[in-house]
Amino acid sequence: MKLFEDELKDIYWAEKALTKAIPKMIKNATDPSLIDALTNHLAETEKQVIRLVDIFESIDKKAVAKKCEAMEGLIKESAEIMDSCEAGAMRDAGIISAGQKVEHYEIASYGTLRQFAETLGLTKAVTLLAATLEEEKAANQQLFDVIITVVNIEDAIIEK
C-alpha cells in the first residue's frame, strides 16, 4: 500500500505538470491534427487529475503530489526539442517524439498502479486507473497516427 500511495503521488505531480506543459506544445505545434490531438489530450489530462483526487479519497488519503523526476526530465526534454527545432514539420515531429515518450511513461505508470490496486483489492481505484490507462494508450496511438499520416517525416528529419 505504501508503494501504491507513493506512486500515486508521483503520477499526480506528473499529470499536474503536464497541464502546464501541454499548452506550450500546442502553442509550438503547426499541424492542425497535432494541435487537435494535444488539445484533446489536455482536456483528458485535466480530467485525469480529478480522477487521481478521487482515487486518493477512495483510500482515505489527501491528494498530495510528490515531484516526479522522470516526468520533469521528459518535460524539460520536450522544451529543449521545441527550442532547438525549426518551426513547422521538424518541430511538430519533435513534439510528437517528446509526447510519445511522455505517453509511454504514463502507460507504464498507470498499468503498474492498476495492477497494484487490483492486488490490494481497491476496486474503485482499479476502475479509475484502467480508464486513464486506456486514455493514455489512445493518446499515444493518436500521436503515432499523426506522425505517420500528416507530418512529412522526410522534411522534418533531413537536414537542408
Q: Half-sphere exposure of residue 151, counting CA atoms within 13 Å on the CB side?
A: 27
Q: Which residue has the cell 507530418?
A: 151
Q: What integer pLDDT is reported at residue 160 of this predicted model? A: 47
Mean pLDDT is highest, among 83-87, 128-132, 155-159, for 128-132
Tell me whether residue 18 is exposed, middle or buried, using C-beta atoms within 10 angstroms of its C-beta: 0 to 12, 13 to 18, 19 or more.
Answer: buried
Mean pLDDT value across residues 32-46: 96
Q: Domains in the chain: how many in total?
A: 1
pLDDT band at 148 (very low <50, low <70, confident <90, very high): confident
| Percent share of the chain, pLDDT over 70 | 92
- pLDDT of residue 64 exceeding 70, the answer is yes
Q: How many Cβ atoms sit within 10 Å of the Cβ of residue 134? A: 12
Whether this model's pTM surpasses 0.75: yes
- Rounded average pLDDT over 5-31: 97
CATH number (domain holding residue 15): 1.20.1260.10
Which domain does 123 fall in, by range? 2-157
Residue type, 67: K
The model's pLDDT over 109-143, given as tens digits with 9 standing for 90+, comes to 999 999 999 999 999 999 999 999 999 999 999 99
Q: Please state the separation of Cα 78 from the chain's center in Å.
A: 12
**Residue among 154, 157, 143 nearest 31 (CA):** 143
H/E run at residue 101: helix 89-120
